[in-house]
Amino acid sequence: MNRLITTALLAGVATTSIAATSLPLKEMDGIADRDYWVPGEVNADGKLEAMQAVVGTDAVAFTGSQDRPVQIALIYPSADTSDFWARNYLALTKRLDQLGIQYETTEFASRQIEHSLQATYANQVEQDADLYDYVIFGPSELAIQADNISKLAGSDGFATYIWAFHTPLKYLENQPDAWFDFSSAAGALTMCDYMIGRLGEGVTMAMNRGIPGITDNQRSGDFKACVEEKAGWETAYEHYGEYQREGGFEGTSLIMQAYPEATIIHNANTAMAMGSVEAQVAMGKEKDIFSTGWGGTGLELEAIRKGELDATPMRMGDDVGAATAEAIKADLEGRADELPFVFLGRITVAHDQMSLEEIDALEQEAFRFSGVGALER
């Protein structure tokens, strides 16, 4: 690596890391009751919007030069059913290609329930810090992996970016350089308003929840609180399916047998949604139950087109990977201070009352780098 890139990398690591003592930048409602900050508390005004604008437009080439590729390690649960990880890997690499940045990646894959395996990977990468310039960590669950996030963020050898979470924990000794995600809380409220508008008041539902923690508290808990408060919905049963297809299948089978009054099943991720649909189809009840997913992945959109899934809060999925590529570019160019601490992508609702053309248009925008349709696995 030449002197320009080496200097930029060292400067980037120093300037993007935010000391816990400097946060929050502002205080919002409920801050004293949380062990984490929300994006509005840690993002300087205008930086998120500026980054979203950059990600949504054509790439502007990297202005520096390289004598070797930057080395990127990815530690994430990409062995799971959800194609979020694979798509954002494609978005990351294709945007880097567009930017003209040379890179090499090393992937450390796991399933979302394999917490100890992720810890092993984090230790390995931290010990081999001299091999990497950037580490992208997609935690299996935020609190469970907090020590590993802090350990990686504390390394002087590389910059650390977090995928799929947007709630920096207050108690981390070392904060990572940036967080990249979609707001599960905002998605839950968007979905709440849509569901009430479509299905009305006094509905009974059941839920396939994920793993207890921040993500499920927002995706499931915030949605539940919203529909109960705004429209008097009742929750017959909550099943923790650990974000796995099997959990969605088992939870839905139990719900259909023991809680027939539940006409809606809320699923907290793609894997459980696919398991839920499988269980419904097996019992011939896919037309009797209103089913939701989470994220608008290719598998979910296919299920909506087939009439098996009814609605999902849809992320403009490739935004996370593309934004990470732009963060690497900014870091290499010594502009790390321009980055938001927490980047958020856009979320809308995809549903079965849309025309195929409308769903196609959403999919084209969301997956502009990774490609439309279900990915081959």
**pLDDT value at position 19?**
57
Would you state the structure tokens that stand for residue 294, as one six-digit string? 């989470």
- In a domain, residue 310? The reply is no
d(CA 351, CA 300): 10
**pLDDT value at position 374?**
67
**pLDDT value at position 377?**
54
Reported as type and span, the H/E element at residue 221 is none
Q: Can you give the residue range of the structural domain that contains 195?
A: 185-294
**pLDDT value at position 298?**
85
Amino acid identity of residue 209, one-letter, is: R
- In a domain, residue 15? The reply is yes
**pLDDT value at position 361?**
92
**pLDDT value at position 79?**
80
Give me the phi and psi of 49, to 5 degrees please: -60, -40
Question: How many domains are contained in the chain?
Answer: 2
- In a domain, residue 234? The reply is yes
**pLDDT value at position 83?**
82
Would you state the structure tokens that stand for residue 174, as one six-digit string? 């070392």
CA dihedral (356, 185, 195, 211) in degrees, to 10, reads: 90
**pLDDT value at position 2?**
35
**pLDDT value at position 9?**
46
Q: Quick one: 177 and 208 in the same domain? A: no
pTM, full prediction: 0.76
CATH code where residue 148 lies: 3.40.50.2300
Q: Quick one: 286 and 325 in the same domain? A: no
Q: Quick one: 199 and 260 in the same domain? A: yes
- In a domain, residue 363? The reply is no
Pairing assessment for the beta strands 290-292 and 134-137 based on DSSP bridges = unpaired
Q: What is the mean pLDDT of each run of 10 residues along the chain (377 residues)?
A: 39 47 91 95 96 93 96 91 86 98 97 93 97 97 96 96 95 97 92 98 98 92 98 98 97 98 97 97 94 92 95 94 98 96 94 97 91 71
Q: Quick one: 198 and 165 in the same domain? A: no
Q: Quick one: 119 and 9 in the same domain? A: yes
